């Protein structure tokens, strides 16, 4: 089936932090192979692997120096092929990260390009005349500082939306595009099952004199002209029964239709809008109402027209139970219920399925992420004390998601026999896979139940989406309807008790429980919800009523 991904559950692996098989403190491919039975037991259908390609690791693999080689820390190409084979034997597909907005500055193309203006690779990147004092424009990069770096030898500056170590490729260059397409085909011919396209909405840039007004990143967010490049990529993807998911910041929910419809560029995209923050700097949380508005707007705008990629965690964000929940098992289950039953393909980030929490960083030296270091330095320059700067800079650092996966209760978390590259969260003592596998009431078992529920009920794939309780600032409620089958999902995303009134038409129906995290939850006209209560119920719509609704 070419759209197998509609009925699939994804699991994201950050290889560095998943499972170390050789004791060097860094997770690796053999470690992933070891854990395939676990993923099979959990019920996931595909793995999205963060980059495993050769890289100087300025940005942990997102700075690629050889697209066709495996990073030695992670293993060999033979290991990768074994992973692919063993995963396929278990009906688990493998999606690779595809990083084609930029390369590493250690990639042979960039090394050559930097040698002289006449290099045949010069035009693979974006160079402009500049002086040390004056860059071609004032645009700012994602990791902080100018998007330009001056290059002494050739007396020009090169462009980068992230960092100087990640120079942007010049998509206007047909030769460069041909090489990228060949590389894509090479991986697909190896038998992989698709790609997550990194930073893909940035490959086209506005003219260099584009004036910045409110959004500093507007000149490289889904800029007109990108369609031509995406169409070229689609031509290759269409030849294979694969799935494609784009990291597409700046693509609005309306524009996402062009990206994800039947003849869209990709099968689905990740929106990057829903983590709307509130609270004081240094202790910010997600605003549940704003998050609900974003998620539900994407549901409505793509209903029948496109397809959503559903997620609440990834390798770039703090742990969701720490910024939306209250770190309790109950809140982890509430969050899972809220998003996994929406319309789209759900992704689970490693450790999310056991409710892993943020780490309390006590020193900037524990931080690996370059953007966090840059932010910390900026805060010091602004006059914050080192204590304040640490608190603010580490509050939302992506390194929270990169502490090792908690498999066991011992101090190494069963992750490695060596010294782990990132600190292990001491709460692994009570919060780990081994323990949760044994307990029927655990977050892990709840995720497994939700996954089964989704996979065995077509209403979650095909069913329409309708929002309920629109005005509630903390209750996420919706209906999924397919023919005469209806599912009602309700989640109190707040730490306060709340009572909601349900529409009379719903009360007339007989509802069966599908899943809940509080045994006393039932559908009632006045539904009283305790903090982080969550449930899904189903009903058969009476034929007449169903017909009337459809008229």
Structure tokens at 309: 């990629």
Residue bearing tokens 């689609």: 234
Give the residue with the Cβ less far from ligand NOJ, 197 or 527: 197
DSSP strand E in 239-380: where?
A: 243-247, 268-270, 277-278, 285-286, 309-310, 345-349
Which run of H or E residues covers position 375? helix 370-381
Beta strands 534-540 and 464-468 are unpaired
Give the residue with the Cβ less far from ligand NOJ, 62 or 511: 62
Give the residue with the Cβ less far from ligand NOJ, 103 or 474: 103
- Choice from 112, 316, 326, 530 touching ligand NOJ (CB under 6 A): 316
Q: Which residues contact 506 (CB under 8 A, 6 or more apart)?
A: 488, 523
Query: Which residue among the candidates 28, 63, 73, 247 is catalytic per the annotation?
Result: 247
| Min separation Cβ 233 and ligand NOJ, Å | 17
Give yes or no: 198 in active site: yes
| Min separation Cβ 447 and ligand NOJ, Å | 23
Compose the 166-205 pattern: x for residues touching ligand NOJ by CB under 6 A, - for all others.
Answer: --------------------------------xx------
DSSP letter, residue 315: T
Compute the distance between CA of residue 349 and CA of residue 281 in angstroms, rounded to an integer: 26
End-to-end CA distance of the chain: 32
Binding of ligand NOJ by 59 (CB under 6 A): yes
Answer for the pair 347, 12: CB distance below 8 angstroms, yes or no: yes
Interacting residues with ligand NOJ between 413 and 472 (CB under 6 A): none
How does DSSP assign 459-515, residue by residue?
A: HHHH-EEEEE-TT-SSEEEEEEEETTEEEEEEEE-SSS-EEEE--HHHHTS--EEEE
Compose the 133-172 pattern: x for residues touching ligand NOJ by CB under 6 A, - for all others.
Answer: -----------------------------x----------
| Min separation Cβ 103 and ligand NOJ, Å | 10
CA-to-CA dists, residue 34 to 39, 73, 75, 355, 409, angstroms: 10, 16, 14, 22, 18
Give yes or no: 247 in active site: yes
Give the residue with the Cβ less far from ligand NOJ, 99 or 405: 99
Give the residue with the Cβ less far from ligand NOJ, 247 or 538: 247
Structure tokens at 351: 């450790």
Kindly tell me the burial class for residue 419, based on how many C-beta atoms sit within 10 Å of its own C-beta (0-12, 13-18, 19 or more): exposed
- Alpha-carbon 480 to chain mean position: 24
| Min separation Cβ 50 and ligand NOJ, Å | 8
Residue nearest to ligand NOJ (CB): 62
DSSP letter, residue 431: S
Give the residue with the Cβ less far from ligand NOJ, 349 or 488: 349
Give the residue with the Cβ less far from ligand NOJ, 168 or 329: 168
Using CB under 6 A as the binding criterion, the count of chain residues that bind ligand NOJ stands at 9
| Min separation Cβ 473 and ligand NOJ, Å | 30
Compose the 209-248 pattern: x for residues touching ligand NOJ by CB under 6 A, - for all others.
Answer: --------------------------------------x-
Give the residue with the Cβ less far from ligand NOJ, 323 or 500: 323
Compute the distance between CA of residue 466 and CA of residue 100 in angstroms, rounded to an integer: 37
Give the residue with the Cβ less far from ligand NOJ, 199 or 289: 199
Binding of ligand NOJ by 271 (CB under 6 A): no
| Min separation Cβ 199 and ligand NOJ, Å | 4
Q: To 10 degrees, the CA torsion angle through 387, 391, 397, 399? A: 60
Answer for the pair 157, 114: CB distance below 8 angstroms, yes or no: no
Query: Which residue among the candidates 45, 97, 198, 399 is catalytic per the annotation?
Result: 198
Compose the 245-264 pattern: x for residues touching ligand NOJ by CB under 6 A, - for all others.
Answer: --x-----------------
- Choice from 99, 200, 230, 233 touching ligand NOJ (CB under 6 A): 99
Exposure pattern of 443-456 as b/e (b: 16+ CB <10 Å)?
Answer: bbbbbbbbbebbbe
Give the residue with the Cβ less far from ligand NOJ, 162 or 361: 162
Exposure pattern of 26-55 as b/e (b: 16+ CB <10 Å)?
Answer: bbbbbbbbebbeebeebbbbbbbbbbbbbb
| Min separation Cβ 542 and ligand NOJ, Å | 47
Helices 370-381 and 386-395, packing angle to 10 deg: 140
| Min separation Cβ 169 and ligand NOJ, Å | 12
| Min separation Cβ 338 and ligand NOJ, Å | 23
Answer for the pair 75, 18: CB distance below 8 angstroms, yes or no: no
| Min separation Cβ 162 and ligand NOJ, Å | 5
Question: 133 - beta bridge partners?
Answer: none
Compute the distance between CA of residue 331 and CA of residue 308 in angstroms, rounded to an integer: 23
Binding of ligand NOJ by 375 (CB under 6 A): no
- Choice from 11, 18, 48, 62 touching ligand NOJ (CB under 6 A): 62
Binding site for ligand NOJ (CB under 6 A): 59, 62, 99, 162, 198-199, 247, 315-316
Q: Which residues belong to the active site? A: 198, 247
């Amino acid at each position: 089936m070419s759209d197998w991904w509609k009925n699939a559950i994804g699991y994201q692996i950050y290889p560095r932090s998943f499972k170390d098989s050789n004791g060097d403190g860094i997770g690796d491919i053999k470690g992933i192979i070891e854990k395939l039975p676990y993923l099979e037991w959990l019920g996931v259908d595909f793995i999205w692997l963060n980059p495993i390609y050769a890289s100087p690791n300025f940005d942990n693999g997102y700075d690629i120096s050889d697209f066709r080689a495996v990073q030695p820390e992670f293993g060999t190409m033979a290991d990768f092929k074994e992973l692919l084979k063993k995963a396929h034997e278990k009906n688990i597909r493998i999606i690779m990260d595809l990083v084609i907005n930029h390369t590493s500055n250690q990639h042979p193309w960039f090394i050559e390009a930097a040698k002289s203006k006449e290099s045949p690779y010069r035009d693979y990147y974006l160079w402009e005349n500049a002086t040390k004092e004056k860059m071609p424009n004032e645009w700012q990069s994602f990791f902080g500082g100018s998007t330009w770096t001056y290059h002494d030898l050739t007396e020009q500056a090169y462009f980068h939306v992230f960092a100087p170590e990640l120079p942007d490729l010049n998509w206007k260059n047909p030769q460069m595009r041909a090489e990228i397409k060949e590389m894509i085909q090479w991986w697909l011919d190896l038998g992989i099952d698709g790609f997550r396209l990194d930073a893909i909405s940035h490959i086209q840039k506005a003219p260099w004199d584009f004036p910045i007004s409110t959004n500093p990143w507007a000149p490289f967010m889904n800029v007109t002209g990108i369609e031509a490049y995406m169409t070229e990529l689609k031509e290759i993807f269409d030849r294979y029964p694969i799935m494609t998911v784009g990291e597409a910041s700046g693509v609005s929910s309306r524009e996402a239709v062009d990206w994800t419809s039947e003849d869209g560029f990709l099968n689905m995209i990740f929106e990057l809008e829903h983590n709307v923050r509130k609270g004081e700097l240094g202790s910010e949380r997600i605003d549940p109402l704003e998050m609900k508005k974003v998620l539900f707007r994407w549901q409505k705008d793509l209903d029948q027209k496109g397809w959503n990629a559903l997620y609440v965690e990834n390798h770039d964000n703090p742990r969701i139970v720490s910024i939306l929940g209250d770190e309790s098992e109950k809140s982890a289950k509430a969050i899972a219920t809220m998003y996994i039953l929406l319309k789209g393909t759900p992704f689970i980030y490693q450790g999310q399925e056991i409710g892993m929490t943020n780490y309390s960083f006590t020193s900037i030296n524990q931080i690996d992420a370059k953007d966090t270091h840059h932010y910390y330095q900026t805060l010091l320059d602004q006059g914050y004390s080192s204590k304040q700067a640490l608190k603010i800079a580490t509050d939302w650092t992506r390194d929270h998601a990169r502490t090792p996966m908690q498999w066991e209760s011992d101090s190494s978390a069963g992750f490695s026999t060596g010294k782990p590259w990132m600190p292990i969260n001491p709460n692994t003592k009570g919060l780990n896979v081994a323990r949760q596998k044994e307990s029927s009431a655990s977050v892990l078992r709840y995720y497994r139940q939700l996954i089964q529920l989704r996979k065995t009920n077509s209403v979650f794939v095909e069913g329409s989406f309708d929002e309920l309780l629109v005005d509630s600032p903390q209750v996420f409620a919706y209906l999924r309807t397919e023919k005469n089958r209806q599912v009602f999902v309700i989640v109190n995303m707040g730490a306060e008790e709340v009572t909601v009134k349900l529409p009379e038409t719903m009360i007339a129906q007989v509802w069966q429980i599908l899943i809940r995290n509080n045994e006393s939850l039932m559908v009632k006209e006045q539904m009283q919800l305790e903090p982080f209560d969550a449930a899904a119920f189903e009903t058969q719509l009476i034929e007449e009523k169903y017909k009337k609704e459809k008229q």
